[in-house]
Chains A and B, each alone.
Chain A
């Protein structure tokens, strides 16, 4: 021991359970206090929520073993002290949540569309999917098949869109909005970066206008103004009018995301493409866009999540999406007052979709960082 060093205590263990606890929960006394407080809250909250949603909840039968057909038979109404959630409202209305008021004898068409949607989308998302090339051919023709299948025509009985509802409307709005906005967004992004001042100015004005106003005003625009703009004889139904608004809205956001990707492409790529004699469109379609879209896919997925959540806004203009069906169920006097069950269920459905999409976007980002070749080939 000399005078410039001092004897110190041995360092505390940082491995094992105790070490982990000490490092992550009780490193300082403030941290310990916070940890204990959070633990206390969690111990109060988690058993309560589990009890409410699962253990004390009614699914189809109440605690007397009777099948629940109205709110008076819910355990929670019979015995407010012990009863949990009354999921019977979801059980009874499940058909509406999934298909709206689609005729029961035609419902196989919706089910088939759901199935085909999965077949069309999954190979698109994963580039190591077996026989991806052949599946992608199906993806391109899927919108046409789905349109005739859901809407009717070609020998199938026509089902008017005002009978559509629930998850069907949510998915139709989300998927169609994203699918139509993608090419429109590319055109707008190219237009905004164009050398032609008129085109660039018009695209910029359009994008900034759409991004400056709330979606709800665009939906109102589609609902109350669009019919005034159209000549007599052209009659669009509610769903189509909303789709126009949603597509315009999404295309502006998509354009900004793709423009971000375009800006990230080094100038040399443009120059190289030009110097081998490619035209403007050849340069963009064969050289620039494939690279730009590839790097902007995570952001495209993120704006798509936003759109998927924003489809709920259509209830304000009177369409019955998942949330709309939920509110309809609550307005029914036989089920009055079961708001938490309905909103919980609707949130859960949205959460599953959007959480999966956000995980996918993270997966893509990671993949992009490691530089593995992926996407548009």
Chain B
């Protein structure tokens, strides 16, 4: 016989009771926060809603390579400029950090004692100093470059000054779209060739020079087409007019500082994951492949790296996520990313903190989620498949 008192020793009842309690408390907390926030917003005369997104921003953004931003554009445009700038520096940083990280990771396993030591010192120093400090340091070095009038010149077309790097800007003329289509077609066809070659090798054992044929397809084919239809591209060269350069393309010091700091900092972490990944492949694998008579370069390509990648890719994913999140530090040097442009200036001008922060956080969550989804797909493709 069960009395009411014994209900509490029933696991099922207890579990439902606790969960209802937690949901109730949570809902109560949300209710209180909504109430007080509504009251506070009203008292401080802060508007609510999303109408501010279509209001003119009223400020300029110094670095907007994709959208031509004017101060009469809306806060929504500020948001898009910010997202694109965040994605730009994260994308460039991830690629450069991967290359540098793999290089340093391999160097740390090389037989040259001196090189190993130098790489070790690089890793320890960059890992143990705050990234924000490194960004500010790079920025303060870059703005001490010569002024525009005394800018360093390279080949008369590149100019380096404290305002950034000026370089020629490619101007695409009619007909360039064919070249662009050719590049895309080349990528698709080299992908198909790769799959076909792998299938053929699995079935017959015959190999096909995939790398050189895709290289030819992607580089040489569009290049040929480019010259055949009469080079439909020209360059707009920067020229010094008055106090600044006119024309050309400019990479601002804020971007360079962010890019350098993010790359160098993240590469140190990536090099450690690469090193531990390669070390995780047991010595027996190397010896076994050597005893099969494989060449040294093939041992690395066919035996070591595929196995090391399985260990490397999961931590590499989190490094990419970290780099993307760390790109939000651009605010310290005035790089107009999502946090600085939309979450900083727009927020201060409109005072609509909740709306701005919700949008910024949701955007970062979306970016993080997208990166992890793609890296998980890649991760699954390289994991050990039992046949």
Contact = CB atoms under 8 A, between A and B. Distances in A.
Contacts of B339: 214, 216-217, 220
B130 interface: yes
Given A213-B325, A229-B33, A346-B133, A39 B114 contact: yes
The interface size bin for chain B is 35 or more
**Residue from A25, A216, A347, A351 having most chain B Cβ neighbours under 10 A:** A216
A212 B369 contact: yes
A225 interface: yes
Nearest to A343: B137
Interface string A222-246: 0011011111100000000000000
A24 B365 contact: no
Nearest to A41: B118
B33 A315 contact: no
B347 interface: yes
A215 B137 CA distance: 20
Interface in A298-333: 305, 309-313, 315-316, 323, 327
A354 interface: yes
A127 to B, nearest CB: 25
Contacts of B54: none
Contacts of A343: 133, 136-137, 140
B279 interface: no
A195 to B, nearest CB: 7
A35 B329 CA distance: 37
A118 interface: no
B329 to A, nearest CB: 7
A196 interface: yes
A232 B36 CA distance: 8
B37 interface: yes
A34 interface: yes
B325 A310 contact: no
B178 interface: no
A31 B111 contact: yes
B219 interface: no
Main secondary structure of the interface of B (DSSP, over half): helix
Contact of A34 (B39, B112, B325): B112
Looking at B39, B40, B114, the one whose CB has the most chain A CB atoms below 10 A away is B114
Interface in B46-96: none
Nearest to A337: B144
Contacts of B112: 24-25, 27, 31, 34-35, 38
Interface string B135-165: 0110010000000000000000000000000
A31 B116 CA distance: 12
Interface stretch (B15-23, B281-289, B309-317): B15-23
B347 A224 contact: yes
Contact of A355 (B114, B128, B136): B128
A217 B343 contact: yes
Interface stretch (A97-105, A148-156, A197-205): A197-205
Contacts of B127: 354, 358
Contact of B329 (A34, A198, A216): A216
A217 B369 contact: no
Grouping DSSP codes into helix (H, G, I), strand (E, B) and loop, the A interface class, with mixed when no group exceeds half, is helix
Contact of A224 (B131, B331, B357): B357
A225 B353 contact: yes
Interface residues of A, number: 54
Nearest to A32: B112
Contact of B113 (A25, A212, A339): A25
Contact of A313 (B22, B329, B353): B329
Interface string B95-136: 000000000000000011111001000001101111111001
B322 to A, nearest CB: 9
B290 interface: no
Given A214-B325, A229-B37, A339 B140 contact: yes
Nearest to B110: A31
B26 A202 contact: yes
A142 interface: no
Interface string B349-387: 000011001001100110011000000000000000000
A24 B36 contact: no
Contacts of B328: 214, 216-217
Given A24-B111, A315-B332, A343-B136, A199 B19 contact: yes
Contact of B132 (A211, A232, A323): A323
Given A198-B22, A228-B353, A351-B125, A214 B130 contact: no
A209 B365 contact: yes
Contacts of A351: 125, 128-129
Given A25-B112, A228-B37, A339-B140, A217 B361 contact: yes
Contacts of B22: 198-199, 202
6 contacts: A23-B111, A213-B361, A228-B36, A228-B40, A309-B131, A358-B128
Q: Which 4 A-B pairs have the closest CB atoms?
A: A24-B113, A214-B325, A214-B328, A224-B353
Given A212-B364, A316-B332, 6 more contacts: A25-B114, A212-B368, A220-B360, A232-B39, A327-B136, A343-B137
